[in-house]
């Protein structure tokens, strides 16, 4: 396998309640408050060679609580507060819990898509299993 074929490792992170406070259906960038130690912790993972990928259920879109544009504005603020070039990608699922969904966690759709898009070795990657204490 050549170095261009080598797969990378990633850490898959939830957004709300994991890297930022969860204001329930966050629709306004003013509601974004990153937990204090998160940027430093993510930088440590980045220096170890991990790609950092956010995967987040956003049923507020599917429920009509906020728009895709509002989601994108919140996402931009999250990335701004975390710092430049820290997060490699973000994936979101707008499906509601009542919908049959391949992307809504705990379904693996977002992780599988990210692995394809970013050439990730899932066996050597990490997925957040419970809410960490930053």
Nearest to 62 by CA among 92, 32, 94: 94
Which helix (H) or strand (E) segment is 55 a member of?
A: strand 51-57
48 by Cβ neighbours in 10 Å (0-12 / 13-18 / 19+) ranks as exposed
Q: Which residues are catalytic?
A: 14, 16
Distances in Å between the Cα of 14 and the Cα atoms of 6, 35, 111, 127 are 26, 13, 11, 9
Helices 38-47, 68-82: axis angle to 10 degrees equals 80
């Amino acid at each position: 396998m050549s170095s261009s074929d080598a797969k990378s490792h990633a850490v898959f992170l939830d957004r709300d309640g994991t890297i930022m406070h969860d204001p329930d259906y966050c629709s306004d960038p003013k509601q974004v408050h990153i937990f204090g130690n998160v940027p430093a912790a993510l930088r440590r993972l980045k220096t170890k060679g991990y790609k950092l990928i956010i995967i987040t259920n956003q049923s507020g879109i599917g429920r009509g609580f906020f728009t895709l544009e509002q989601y994108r504005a919140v996402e931009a603020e999250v990335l701004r507060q975390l710092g430049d070039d820290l997060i490699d990608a973000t994936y979101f699922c707008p499906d509601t819990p009542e919908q049959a969904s391949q992307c809504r966690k705990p379904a693996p759709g977002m992780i599988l898509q990210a692995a394809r898009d970013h050439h990730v070795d899932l066996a050597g990657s990490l997925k957040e299993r419970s809410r960490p204490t930053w």
